Amino acid sequence: MEMTPSHQYSEKLWQEALQHFPGGVNSPVRAFRGVGGTPFFTQRAKGSRLWDVDGNEYIDYVGSWGPMILGHAHPQVVRAVQEAARDGTSFGTPNPREIRLAQLVREAFPSMQKIRFVNSGTEATMSAIRLARGFTKRDKILKFEGCYHGHADALLVKAGSGGATFDVPDSAGVPADFARNTVTLPLNDFAALDTVNWREIACVIIEPVPANMGLILLKPGFLEKLRKLSRESGALLILDEVISGFRVARGGAQELFGIQADLTTLGKIIGGGLPVGAFGGRADIMDMLAPTGPVYQAGTLSGNPLAMAAGIATLEELSKSDVYGKLERRATNLGDEWKKVVKGHSVRLGSLFCTFFTDREVVDYASAKTSDTKRYAKFFHAMLERGVYLAPSQFEVGFLSLAHTETDIEETLRAAVEAVKTL
Ligand SMILES: *Cc1c(COP(=O)(O)O)cnc(C)c1O
């Protein structure tokens, strides 16, 4: 007879965490507010699996929200971090690993003629926006409803991710004067793009693979139209590839769709599970940054040797032949069956996947919001009970890794068949 899994120790830690942290967490979606219940505390992770502090095992489709494309505790990454740590954890001087990681990123992203490493995706987008404003001497920026670009003030306007989960599209504490300079438009709305006064726009920022309100695909021609309008008007195009970079292809959406950004932001995968972000692009723009130019940006731990080491090991693994082919084949096996089993409106691009529980076609934030989030929550818990950990929110995506085996996928699909019956 199967034992009901115990969550005793997680429950105990949760009560303690609530004393220490607002809402018990250090990042909101971890609190399971989107699905209810108590989050589990992870003891360790390896490959495709997580083990919680009570010894329960899960097939993990969150992957630390994107970075773990090789799976958890990949031996090369662990070794690289250990070796780097022996040489000291931070120097505050240039170090050789920064150069190696820059080479690996630039090989994959030819549009990034120069690059700067930071410590998170939020820092990358925040700094890229400041740079775009400094370069163009314009204040206004354009973003899209439901796209998440981290939690900098100017970007927390109609943002996705936690904002979507908690239905607080605009954060308290963002001065109206800041938000006024952020123009937002619905995704995939070609006509709306023509209503913008492009000559006052410093930059348009977009997730080329929108993956923070669930997964939404851009209509063919949408990015091209943005590219054209921005180029004609002197606005910069910032492609936020914090999720899509090294995920949907080695060279991200830019490789997949054949489009060039003026500035690109990266994070997640390029840090191999350590805190890293990066922004980069045209050399004439990047040279506006301090110390060569007037746009200030700095970081005590930027280019951190441990983080660079984890990133290098990860990107070197991803440079091997047919890595993305293998990931795509695995993802196809999962995705094709998943669609039949889970139904709803299922979307997949490469190793990213998502199911909206709605009959509507999901093309933007408004249609994503038609999803039955209560049904998602039930499905989430039914899967979790069966040892499969999906994102604890309808408005996040699933991440498949190279460590997921055919057996993992079969197990996942068997769980999904059972879970759907409980809905
Ligand atoms: C995760 C994410 C960010 C923010 O990165 P953090 O490292 O969480 O600050 C920015 N943009 C996109 C598209 C993201 O998915």
In this structure, the dihedral spanned by the alpha carbons of residues 17, 21, 22 and 24, taken in order and rounded to 10 degrees, is -30
Q: Is 267 in the pocket of ligand 1 (CB under 6 A)?
A: yes
Please tell me the total number of residues recorded for the chain in this structure: 423
Ligand 1 within 6 A of CB of 338:
no
Instruction: Give one DSSP letter per residue of 386-415, joined into a string.
Output: TTEE--SSTTS-EE--TT--HHHHHHHHHH
Nearest atom of ligand 1 to the alpha carbon of 240: 13
Written as one string, the DSSP assignment of 255-279 is: HHHT---SEEEE-GGGGTTSS-EEE
Mean pLDDT of 263-279: 98
User: Cα(421) to centroid of ligand 1, in Å?
Assistant: 35
Residue with tokens 């490789």: 255
Q: Per-residue pLDDT averaged across 326-337, rounded?
A: 97
Question: In angstroms, what is the span from residue 334 Cα to ligand 1's centroid?
Answer: 25
- For residues 270 and 304, the answer to whether their CB atoms sit within 8 Å is no
Sorted by sequence, the CB contacts under 8 Å of residue 367 that are 6+ apart come out as 358, 360, 361
Q: What is the pLDDT of residue 177?
A: 83
From 122, 216, 247, 265, the mutation candidate for ligand 1 (largest count of ligand atoms within 8 A of CB) is 122
What distance in angstroms lies between residue 32's CA and the mean position of ligand 1's atoms? 19
Domain ranges of the chain: 5-73+322-421, 75-318
Q: Is 149 in the pocket of ligand 1 (CB under 6 A)?
A: yes
Ligand 1 atom 11: residue of nearest CA = 149
Is the CB–ligand 1 distance for residue 146 below 6 Å? no
Pick the atom of ligand 1 nearest to 65's CA: 1
The answer to whether 215 and 248 are in contact (CB under 8 A) is no
Residue 91 class from Cβ within 10 Å (0-12 exposed, 13-18 middle, 19+ buried)? Answer: exposed
Residues 211/356, Cβ–Cβ less than 8 Å: no
Residue 150 alpha carbon, nearest atom of ligand 1: 4
pLDDT value at position 176?
83
Closest C-alpha to 205, from 137, 150, 164, 284: 150
Q: Is 243 in the pocket of ligand 1 (CB under 6 A)?
A: yes
* pLDDT tier at 179, thresholds 50, 70, 90: confident
Ligand 1, pocket-test mutation among 30, 242, 302, 349, most atoms within 8 A of CB: 242
- Pocket of ligand 1 contains residue 122 by CB under 6 Å: yes
Query: What digits encode the pLDDT tens for the residues 65-118?
Result: 999 999 999 999 999 999 999 999 999 999 999 999 999 999 999 999 999 999
Active site residues: 148, 240, 268
State whether the beta carbon of 279 lies less than 6 angstroms from ligand 1: no
- pLDDT-derived band at 178 (thresholds 50, 70, 90) equals confident
Query: Which of 149, 156, 274 to mutate to test ligand 1, by most ligand atoms within 8 A of the CB atom?
Result: 149
- For 31, which DSSP code? G
pLDDT bucket at 165, cuts 50 / 70 / 90: low
Q: Cα separation of 201 and 198, whole Å? A: 5
Number of Cβ within a 10 Å radius of residue 300: 8
Q: Is the CB–ligand 1 distance for residue 264 below 6 Å?
A: no
Helices (H), 21-120: 75-86, 96-108
Task: Estimate the crossing angle of helix 75-86 against helix 305-318, to 10 degrees.
Answer: 150
Distance, CA of 9 to CA of 372 (rounded, Å): 32
What is the pLDDT, as a whole number, of residue 3? 56
Closest residue CA from atom 14 of ligand 1: 242
**Fold exhibited by the domain 75-318:** Aspartate Aminotransferase; domain 2 (3.40.640)
pLDDT in tens, 348-377: 999 999 999 999 999 999 999 999 999 999
Angle (CA) 96-99-104 rounded to 5° is 130
Is the pLDDT assigned to residue 1 strictly greater than 50? no
Q: Write down the pLDDT at residue 141.
A: 96
The CATH class that applies to domain 5-73+322-421 reads alpha beta
Mean pLDDT of the chain: 95
Decide the pairing of beta strands 388-389 and 345-349: unpaired
Q: What is the pairing mode between strands 42-46 and 49-52?
A: antiparallel
Whether 170 and 232 have beta carbons less than 8 Å apart is answered as no
- Prediction pTM value: 0.96
Looking from the CA of residue 243, the nearest atom of ligand 1 is 15
pLDDT level of residue 166 (50, 70, 90 thresholds): low
The answer, yes or no, to whether any atom of ligand 1 lies below 6 A from the CB of 247, is no
The stretch 242-246 carries a mean pLDDT of 98
CB 412 less than 6 A from any atom of ligand 1: no
